[in-house]
Chain A
Amino acid sequence: MVNWNLIRYIVGRIIQTFITLLIILTVTFILFEMLPATPIDLLSQNPLIKPSQKEYMIELFGFDRPPFERYLIYMRNMLTFDFGISYTQGVSVNDLLAERIPRTLFLFGMAVVISYVVGILVGAYIGWRRGGIADGSAVLTSLLFYNMPSFWIGLIFLFIFSFQLGWFPLTAWPQVYPYRWWEVVHHTFLPLITLVLLSLAGTILLMRTSMLETIGENYILTAVAKGIPERSVLFKHAARNATLPVATAFVISLAFAMGGAVVLEQVFSFPGVGLLYIDSLTSLDFPTASATLYILALMVLIGNLFADILYGFLDPRIRVTE
Chain B
Amino acid sequence: MSGTKNDGMPGAAGMMEPDEEETELLTVPNWKRTLSRWRRSFSRGWKLYKQSKAGLTGLTIMFIFVFMAVFAPWIAPYDLDFLAPQEDVFLADNVHEVIEANATLGLDDPASELWYPPVGYRGDQRLEEVIIYSDGGHALKFVVDDKAIEGGRGLQILSNSTHVIPQNITILLPTTFRNEHFTAFAGDTMYELTFDTFIVRAEVSLDFEPIWYSNLWNRWSPQNSEGEYLHSFANETTLAMCARIPPNPAYGEFREKRFYDIVTMDDFNETNGTTIIGEPIILNIPLVENGSMIVVPTTEGIAAIYLDYNKTGGRVRNVAIGEMLWYVTYEEIRDFWDRDSVEPIPNRPISIAKEHPSEPIGKDRIILATDSQFLYSVLRINGTNNWTSTLVTSSMREPRPMGIWPTFRGNLVVTGTTGELGFIASVDPETGSIRGNRTWYNMTGAPIVGRPDYIFSSRNYIFMTEAQQIVILKETMQLDATFQAVGGGTHTTISYVGNIVNNVGSAQGNYYSMVTVDAVLWVQSVSGTYTAPLPPGVYTSGNRYILGTDVFGGDIFTQLLYATRTELVVGLVAAVISAGLGTIVGLISGYYGGWVDTILMRLTDIFLTLPILVVALLLAAVLGPSIGNIILIIAIFSWAGVARVIRAQTLSLKNRAFIDAARVSGASNRTIILRHLGPNVLPLTFLYMVFTISAAIITEAILAFLGMGDPTATTWGMMLQFLQISGNTLTAPWWLLPPGLAITLLSLAFYLIGRAFDEVVNPRLRAR
Contact = CB atoms under 8 A, between A and B. Distances in A.
A132 interface: no
Nearest to A248: B7
B705 A149 contact: yes
Interface string B1-28: 1001101111000000000000000000
Nearest to A260: B613
Interface stretch (B62-70, B209-217, B617-625): B617-625
A37 B390 contact: yes
Given A143-B751, A255-B611, A151 B622 contact: no
A44 B387 CA distance: 7
A213 B764 contact: yes
B388 interface: yes
B694 interface: yes
B434 A20 contact: no
B325 interface: no
A272 interface: no
A163 B730 contact: yes
Contacts of A23: 606
A156 B736 contact: yes
A259 B622 contact: no
A152 B438 contact: no
B239 interface: no
A205 to B, nearest CB: 6
A212 B759 CA distance: 12
Nearest to A36: B392
B614 A283 contact: no
Contact of B701 (A144, A152, A205, A278): A152
Contacts of A188: none
A274 B705 CA distance: 14
B740 A156 contact: yes
Q: Which among B617, B694, B730, B739 has the greatest number of chain A C-beta atoms within 10 A?
A: B617
A75 interface: no
Interface in B611-657: 611-615, 617-619, 621-622, 624
Contact of A266 (B387, B610, B706): B706
Contact of B4 (A32, A149, A245, A255): A255
Contact of B702 (A151, A163, A293): A151
Nearest to B723: A155
Contact of A150 (B394, B431, B702, B768): B702
B608 interface: yes
A41 to B, nearest CB: 6
Contacts of B730: 158-159, 163
A281 B618 contact: yes
A72 to B, nearest CB: 21
Given A255-B612, A262-B614, A283 B434 contact: yes
Contact of A47 (B387, B701, B740): B387
A47 B621 contact: no
Interface in A245-270: 245, 249, 251-256, 258-259, 262-263, 266
Interface residues of B, number: 72
A146 interface: yes
A124 interface: no
A216 to B, nearest CB: 6
Q: Which among B394, B430, B609, B752 has the greatest number of chain A C-beta atoms within 10 A?
A: B609
Nearest to A249: B7
A252 B608 contact: yes
Contacts of A266: 705-706
A28 interface: yes
B743 A148 contact: yes
A120 interface: no
B548 to A, nearest CB: 15
Contacts of A212: 765
Contacts of B621: 35, 281-282, 284, 289
B358 interface: no
A171 interface: no
Contacts of B611: 254-255, 258-259, 262, 296-297, 299-300
Contact of B706 (A37, A278, A304): A278
Contacts of B748: 143-144, 147
A27 B433 contact: no
Contacts of B264: none
Contacts of B701: 149, 151-152
B768 A28 contact: no
B237 interface: no
A202 interface: yes
A283 B736 contact: no
Contacts of A194: none
Contacts of B387: 44-47
Contact of A282 (B393, B398, B694): B393
B698 A296 contact: no
B489 interface: no
B506 interface: no
A128 interface: no
A35 B622 contact: yes
Given A152-B701, A159-B730, A159-B736, A293 B618 contact: yes
Given A47-B387, A213-B764, A283 B433 contact: yes
A314 interface: no
B572 to A, nearest CB: 17
Contacts of A147: 694, 698, 743-745, 747-748, 751
Interface in A205-253: 205-206, 209-210, 212-213, 216, 245, 249, 251-253
B624 to A, nearest CB: 7
Contacts of A151: 701-702, 705-706, 720
16 contacts: A36-B624, A42-B392, A45-B433, A146-B751, A149-B705, A151-B720, A153-B740, A255-B608, A258-B614, A259-B4, A259-B612, A281-B617, A282-B621, A283-B433, A293-B615, A293-B618
Interface of B: 1, 4-5, 7-10, 337-338, 386-390, 392-395, 397-398, 430-434, 437-438, 602, 605-606, 608-615, 617-619, 621-622, 624, 694, 698, 701-702, 705-707, 717, 720, 724, 729-730, 733, 736-737, 739-740, 743-745, 747-748, 751-752, 764-765, 767-768
Nearest 3 CB-CB pairs, A to B?
A: A259-B613, A152-B740, A147-B747
